[in-house]
């Protein structure tokens, strides 16, 4: 039995599952918090189209007399569905990677300088954890792995400190403690500079991670 | 535990990737899988930053919070450099 025949024989079940999954995604209460307002709007639009397609396919008349499940799938229809799925996939991937809604919220939530330093450290850790997954993945090319290792070796001492380095690299924690002990212009400037530097290092590492995850040509 | 919509999308991405590879289109399958991995990384980072934002909504970061994140950073760094 071919794949097309199999799909045709289970038309109602498959479309029922697809419609239920799309309905679940649409109704999920946390979805709005996961993405920006425009990404949420586009997601709802794509889901609406998906439900319409399911409805259209389900009402498509059967071509074989006596077989109400027939006439649903064809090679052309499957190609169209794969093309739509890939487009939705690309949109989802871009949204998930570049949305950064919660990261922006965390930085906004940190009103004081020490809190901003803490958010920068946590952001660095979050990216670092993903970097570890990539370097441990056997399919990662050696060049991508080395690039990530170089970015990590350069960045970590600036976040957690390295007392033996010249010039001295104090940790974000030490600079935040110094600022809280004596909240002067000098300690504020030093901490602010370290936070800005940490944000740049996070961006560098994120770039290395994204490059390693990009589909190879 | 009910999966989030993004989890469902990621599962379907990986399923489509596998189907493409089985259908004799390994390049398309690999490209889709790489995209799913990138999306997964973004989702994981966002999930972590959500817990940070929620924490800071309740209280300021303490010395213990800094110590904790430093420890985790050192562990991850060691693991990456030794890989």
In contact, A121 and B73? CB cutoff 8 Å = yes
pLDDT at A118: 95
> pLDDT for B15-41, tens place per residue?
887 887 887 878 877 777 777 777 778
Q: What is the mean pLDDT of residues A177-187?
A: 93
- Sorted by sequence, the CB contacts under 8 Å of residue B76 that are 6+ apart come out as A125, A128, A129, A131, A132
Q: Do B36 and A93 touch (CB under 8 A)?
A: yes
> pLDDT for A31-44, tens place per residue?
766 666 777 777 78
pLDDT at A47: 79
CB-CB neighbors (< 8 A) of B9 in chain A: 25, 89, 92
Residue A85 vs residue B27, higher pLDDT = B27
Residue A151 has pLDDT above 90, yes or no: yes
Length reported for chain A:
217
CA quadruple B22, B25, B31, B32: dihedral, nearest 10? -50
Q: Rounded to an integer, what is the distance from CA A166 to the centroid of its chain? A: 37
Q: Do B60 and A115 touch (CB under 8 A)?
A: yes
In this complex, the residue of A24, A96, A215 whose CB is nearest that of residue B34 is A215
pLDDT-based confidence at residue A190 (cuts at 50, 70, 90): very high
State the pTM of this model: 0.68
HSE, side-chain direction, 13 A CA sphere, residue A176: 25
B32-59: b (≥16 Cβ within 10 Å) or e: bbbbbbbbbbbbbbbebbbebbebbeee
In this complex, the residue of A31, A85, A213 whose CB is nearest that of residue B41 is A213
- Sorted by sequence, the CB contacts under 8 Å of residue A148 that are 6+ apart come out as A131, A134, A135, A205, A208, A209, A212, B80
Q: Torsion-angle region of residue A100: left (phi > 0), alpha (psi -120 to 50) or beta?
A: left
User: A211 and chain B: CB distance < 8 Å anywhere?
Assistant: no
In contact, A58 and A15? CB cutoff 8 Å = yes
In this complex, the residue of B44, B57, B77 whose CB is nearest that of residue A109 is B57
> Chain A closest CA to B14's CA: distance in Å?
10
DSSP tag of B3: P
């Amino acid at each position: 039995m071919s794949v097309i025949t199999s799909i045709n024989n289970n038309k109602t079940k498959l479309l029922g599952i697809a419609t239920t999954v799309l309905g679940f995604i649409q109704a999920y209460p946390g979805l709005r918090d996961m993405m920006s307002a425009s990404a949420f709007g586009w997601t709802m639009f794509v889901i609406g189209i998906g439900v319409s397609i399911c409805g259209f396919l389900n009402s498509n008349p059967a071509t074989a007399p006596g077989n109400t499940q027939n006439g649903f799938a064809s090679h052309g229809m499957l190609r169209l569905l794969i093309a739509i799925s890939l487009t939705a996939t690309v949109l989802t991937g871009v949204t998930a990677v570049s949305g950064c809604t919660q990261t922006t919220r965390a930085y906004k939530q940190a009103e004081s300088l020490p809190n901003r330093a803490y958010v920068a450290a946590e952001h660095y850790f979050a990216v670092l954890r993903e970097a570890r997954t990539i370097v441990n993945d056997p399919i990662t090319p050696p060049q991508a792995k080395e690039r990530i290792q170089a970015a990590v070796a350069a960045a970590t001492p600036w976040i957690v400190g390295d007392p033996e380095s010249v010039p001295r690299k104090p940790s974000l924690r030490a600079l935040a403690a110094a600022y809280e002990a004596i909240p002067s212009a000098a300690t504020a400037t030093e901490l602010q500079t370290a936070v800005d530097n940490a944000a740049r290092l996070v961006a560098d590492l994120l770039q290395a991670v994204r490059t390693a995850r990009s589909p190879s040509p | 535990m009910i999966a989030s919509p993004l989890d469902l999308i990621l599962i379907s991405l990986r399923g489509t990737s596998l189907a493409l590879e089985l259908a004799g289109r390994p390049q398309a399958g690999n490209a889709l899988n790489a995209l799913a991995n990138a999306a997964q990384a973004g989702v994981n980072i966002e999930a972590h930053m959500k817990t940070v934002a929620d924490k800071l909504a309740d209280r300021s970061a303490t010395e213990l919070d800094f110590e904790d994140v430093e420890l985790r950073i050192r562990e991850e760094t060691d693991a990456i450099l030794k890989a």
